[in-house]
């Protein structure tokens, strides 16, 4: 049976192209199209239904130690100045199995000293909760799968703060010191934190700044029954600011251009190593290993060889299809690996030897991007930045370049005062 979110009926009633994703019926795009939605996030704002994603609450005196064992980031050292993750902050990392392979990636929020909220991908709440429970013996920790018990929206783009500010009781207080990977409030009315961020209708909100587009914006966690009203209120509040509803296609093209992985596609059933997301591991500063023991660490440290993963970008909008084998070839025509993701970032283009975004402050006059194909490849030998390769399905062969980054001038880390 295909699952739904509280907004599925709204999506279908407003002309969205619907498709099954991770067991949920979700919008791919709306009548204006995925390109319009992608560009809206870069130039104005986009609103995504992300309530198909799952969450797991981990509470109690043993919650910290349990996550230290199961989660890749060192929660004792990943905070500001190398200190512990403090209440009001969050961090990205992965859950690995003993072989060092990815169970799922996640963002861990710390609302209080003995309370954590683990946000994972759609359909993964039960899996991650079970993984935590399997290692909870001897620890005083309560693990609660909140699948379908939390509503979530992502409001992304340069106008996001202006749109959201119109619906907040006290936008100044809500936005104050809300830095990248921080959050305020709580979606549970019973939480003492729920008083700190409320909408004008009184709805309590957990408001965070992480994002999956690479651009400035917010994640809005609420009780599921409040979701339809808030969705419509946000769209009404942002109509004059260019806010558009956005589907999964734009979310996919935005995240790939921002060099962010799709779990179970770009990371998955192979060792989490030699990829662009090494910051998710607790590497020791002297390169000697990790700053803590965790599940999967020994396997990663014991790897004799690894197939590296790299981002790539093309010279035009073309991409390859995953309905057929999508392979990678070196400059001598030898097959060296496979394509993990292939999308088109529709907001970027080449000007000379440099890529610009449609939102780049220094873009050339009259710059109008055609879009560029980009994504990730997994290959059997190391490649150099700038090295040309080809990606291919059975219909086309496309020259691309191995790069450390794709879309320039992303705004996710821009101070909130600069965006209001």
- When pLDDT is cut at 50, 70 and 90, the band that residue 296 belongs to is very high
- pLDDT for position 325: 87
Cα(134)–Cα(281) distance, integer angstroms: 22
Cα(391)–Cα(373) distance, integer angstroms: 11
Tokens of 416: 């909130």
Q: 329 or 287: whose pLDDT is higher? A: 329
- pLDDT for position 1: 80
Q: Are the CB atoms for 309 and 340 separated by under 8 Å?
A: yes
Name beta bridge partners: 45.
243
Question: First vs last Cα of the chain: how many Å apart?
Answer: 43
Cα(187)–Cα(170) distance, integer angstroms: 16
pLDDT at 323 > cutoff 80 = no
For the stretch 203-261, pLDDT in tens is: 999 999 998 999 999 999 999 999 999 999 999 999 999 999 999 999 999 999 999 99
Q: Are the CB atoms for 348 and 358 separated by under 8 Å?
A: yes
Residues with Cβ within 8 Å of 416's Cβ and at least 6 positions away in sequence, in order, are: 161, 175, 178, 179, 209
Residues with Cβ within 8 Å of 337's Cβ and at least 6 positions away in sequence, in order, are: 307, 327, 328, 377, 378, 379, 380
Tokens of 230: 């808030």
CA-based nearest residue to 155, from 137, 128, 134, 174: 174
Mean pLDDT of the chain: 97
Q: Are the CB atoms for 49 and 234 separated by under 8 Å?
A: no
pLDDT at 288 > cutoff 90 = no
Neighbours of 321 (CB within 10 A): 13
For the stretch 191-219, pLDDT in tens is: 999 999 999 999 999 999 998 999 999 99
pLDDT at 285 > cutoff 90 = no
Lowest mean pLDDT, pick from 21-25, 297-301, 320-324? 320-324
Cα(240)–Cα(106) distance, integer angstroms: 34
pLDDT at 23 > cutoff 90 = yes
Q: What is the DSSP string of 279-342?
A: GGS-B-TTSSSBSS--TTHHHHHT-S----EEEEEESSS----SSS--EEE-TTS-EEEEEEEE
Q: Are the CB atoms for 294 and 361 separated by under 8 Å?
A: no
CA-based nearest residue to 382, from 324, 414, 420, 336: 336
For the stretch 366-380, pLDDT in tens is: 999 999 999 999 999
- pLDDT for position 197: 98
| H or E element that contains 379 | strand 372-379
Q: 172 or 285: whose pLDDT is higher? A: 172
Beta strand pairing call for 217-222 and 102-112? unpaired
Q: Are the CB atoms for 140 and 61 separated by under 8 Å?
A: yes
Q: Are the CB atoms for 110 and 89 separated by under 8 Å?
A: yes
| Percentage of the chain modeled with pLDDT above 90 | 96
What are the structural domains, with CATH classification, of the chain?
8-51+150-256 (3.30.1360.120), 307-411 (2.40.30.110)
Tokens of 283: 């590497």
Q: What is the pTM for the complete model shown?
A: 0.97
- When pLDDT is cut at 50, 70 and 90, the band that residue 301 belongs to is very high
Task: Identify the sign of the CA torsion 261, 266, 272, 277.
Answer: negative
């Amino acid at each position: 049976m295909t699952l739904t979110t509280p907004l599925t009926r709204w999506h279908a009633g407003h002309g969205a192209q619907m498709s099954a994703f991770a067991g949920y019926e979700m919008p791919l795009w709306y009548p204006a199209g995925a390109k319009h939605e992608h560009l809206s996030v870069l130039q104005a704002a986009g609103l995504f239904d992300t309530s198909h994603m799952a969450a797991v609450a981990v509470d109690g005196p043993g919650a910290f130690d349990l996550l230290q064992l199961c989660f890749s980031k060192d929660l004792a050292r990943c905070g500001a100045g190398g200190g512990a993750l403090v209440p009001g902050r969050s961090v990205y990392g992965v859950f690995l199995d003993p072989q060092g392979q990815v169970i799922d990636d996640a963002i861990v929020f710390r609302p209080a000293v003995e309370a954590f909220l683990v946000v994972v991908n759609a359909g993964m709440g039960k899996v991650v909760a079970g993984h935590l429970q399997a290692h909870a013996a001897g620890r005083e920790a309560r693990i609660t799968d909140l699948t379908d018990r939390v509503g979530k929206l992502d409001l992304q783009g340069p106008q996001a703060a202006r749109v959201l500010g119109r619906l907040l009781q006290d936008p100044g207080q809500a936005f104050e010191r809300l830095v990248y990977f921080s959050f305020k409030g709580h979606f549970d009315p019973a939480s003492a934190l729920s008083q700190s961020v409320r909408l004008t209708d009184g709805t309590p909100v957990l408001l965070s700044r992480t994002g999956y587009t690479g651009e400035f914006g917010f994640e809005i966690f609420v009780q599921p029954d409040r979701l339809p009203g808030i969705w419509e209120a946000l769209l009404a509040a942002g109509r004059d600011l260019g806010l558009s509803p956005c589907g999964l296609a734009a979310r996919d093209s935005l995240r790939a251009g921002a060099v962010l992985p799709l779990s179970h596609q770009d990371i998955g059933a192979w060792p989490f190593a030699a990829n662009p997301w090494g910051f998710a591991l607790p590497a020791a500063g002297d390169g000697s290993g990790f700053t803590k023991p965790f599940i999967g660490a020994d396997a990663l440290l014991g790897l004799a060889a690894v197939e590296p993963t790299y981002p790539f970008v093309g010279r035009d909008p073309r991409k390859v299809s995953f309905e057929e084998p999508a392979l990678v070839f070196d400059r001598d025509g030898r097959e060296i690996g496979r394509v993990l993701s292939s999308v088109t970032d529709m907001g970027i283009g080449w000007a000379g030897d440099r890529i610009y975004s449609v939102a780049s402050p220094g873009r050339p006059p009259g710059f109008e991007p055609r879009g560029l194909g980009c994504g990730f490849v997994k290959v059997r030998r190391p490649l150099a930045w700038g090295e040309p390769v080809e990606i291919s399905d059975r219909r086309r062969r496309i020259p691309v370049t191995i790069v450390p980054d794709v879309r320039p001038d992303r705004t996710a880390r821009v101070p909130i005062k600069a965006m209001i």
